[in-house]
Amino acid sequence: MSKKRVVISACLLGELCRYDGKTKKIKSVVEAFKEYEIIPFCPEAPLFGTPRERISVVEIEDEHRIITDESKRDVTQQLKNEILSFIKKNQDIDAIVLKSKSPSCGKGTTPILNTQGDFLSYGNGIAVDMFESFYEGIEIIDEVKCL
Ligand code: SF4
């Protein structure tokens, strides 16, 4: 029988793919899914390299956009394309664990800013919004649930 498959944010697995070139490895995440086939996921590093400029979720005209912090580039569509390409390659998934607070991976924990950079609320990263509509019925959890 084939193993169940879990998508996990690559930085939680020990990959040095964060914006600052570091990782956020959490052993208990791997431990919780040791019976699964693990599929690493990181939409930012392949697009923008590591280390890279930070990005944030910014509310613009009632829409959430992903904007680079310093150069103020809108990278929403690039990220959407990257995430969609991942989804197309990985349609048969049983579980998803994503890194909290990230503009890509955070679920309900990501700061949403206004165009002046002020905090508005906590919400989802862009990958969570897309995963929720494509992987219907699969609960997305973050690393905190595995501690
Ligand atoms: Fe990549 Fe997501 Fe980790 Fe950010 S939180 S480094 S986008 S896997």
| Spatial CA neighbour of 144 closest among 7, 26, 20, 18 | 26
Reported pTM: 0.97
Q: Is the CB of 7 under 6 A from ligand 1?
A: no
Between the CA of 44 and the centroid of ligand 1 the distance, in Å, is: 6
Q: Is 100 in the pocket of ligand 1 (CB under 6 A)?
A: no
Nearest to 123 by CA among 139, 109, 137, 141: 109
Can you give the residue range of the structural domain that contains 92?
Answer: 5-146
Per-residue pLDDT tens listing for the chain (147 residues): 799 999 999 999 999 999 999 999 999 999 999 999 999 999 999 999 999 999 999 999 999 999 999 999 999 999 999 999 999 999 999 999 999 999 999 999 999 999 999 999 999 999 999 999 999 999 999 999 988
Distance of CA 138 to CAs 45, 53, 128, 132, Å? Answer: 25, 31, 11, 8
The finding on whether 64 has its CB within 6 A of some atom of ligand 1 is no
- The pLDDT value recorded for residue 89 is 98
